[in-house]
Amino acid sequence: MTDIDMPATPQRHRLPVSMRAIRRLLPLAGCGLPAAVLTDPSVAAWVRAHGVTVFAGDGDELCLAGRCGVRPGQVVLRCGRAAEPIVYALGLGVNRFVVSCEQHVDVLMECAHHDTYVHVDDECPAVLGEGCLAVIGLHCDVRASGPLDWGVAAGRLLGRIAQLRTDGSALTRISLTGGSTAVWMEGDKGELTAIAAAVDDAIDEGCARWRLPRPSVTFAPSVSGR
């Protein structure tokens, strides 16, 4: 067998290092990964073993997560333009979603028959949970990858949480995705520590300014969807 015929060897990942870098400053932070990384068998095995959140962006990524043995409870669907992946995800038992328009909410309201938890995109109009649909937090895609950009995004979400609080909605979670997956796979402690520090500072400042309880935070590299 030639080198060309040999199966691809999974790259060694340093995901534990990356997540420790985040949690050194934010011990209770959640960490997630895009479904695309599951094509590496060693990553898929590690994700399964540690119950890491997986962000899927469409039906293909939901199928990939299922083939890799990721439990539905670990999956978050980043809702896109089509309704079909939302319905498919609900049928699989997925109960966490990120919505970016009222149409996503309409599909969930119509099709969800079990407790379903939603993060609302920061560009989406305010959404109220009804029935088995609970709005628990806000989400932001950090389009620029510098640490300060992550801090600005966190501060913006806190400002909106404060605004919604005056309307009677008490949201307790924020979700931030952005930047390269390679930073996480390679265990870039310097970059991830700087991101965590910027977000931590923004949370301290925002909570003091608006008298909010500290929200729980989830970090992940850029994910597909929309």
Local confidence band at 69 (pLDDT 50, 70, 90 cut-offs): very high
H-type alpha helices, 83-211: 84-92, 102-111, 147-166, 181-185, 189-210
pLDDT at 226: 45
Q: Answer whether residue 4 shows pLDDT above 50.
A: no
Local confidence band at 126 (pLDDT 50, 70, 90 cut-offs): confident
Alpha-carbon dihedral angle through residues 167, 168, 172, 174, given to the nearest 10 degrees = -20
The three-state DSSP-derived secondary structure of 54-75 is EEECCHHHHHHHHHCCCCHHHE
pLDDT average, residue stretch 195-211 = 98
Pick the residue with more confidence: 120 or 126? 120
Cβ 77 vs Cβ 117: under 8 Å: no
pTM: 0.90
pLDDT at 131: 82
List the domain boundaries for the chain. Answer: 15-215
Structure tokens at 22: 């985040």
Task: For residue 97, give the nearest of 131, 72, 68, 126 by alpha carbon.
Answer: 72
What is the DSSP code string of 105-125? HHHHHHH--S-EEEEEETTSP
d(CA 222, CA 220): 7
pLDDT digit string, tens, across residues 133-179: 999 999 999 988 799 999 999 999 999 999 998 877 889 999 999 99
**Domain 15-215: CATH superfamily, name plus number:** Alanine racemase (3.20.20.10)
Torsion 68-70-72-77 (CA) sign: negative
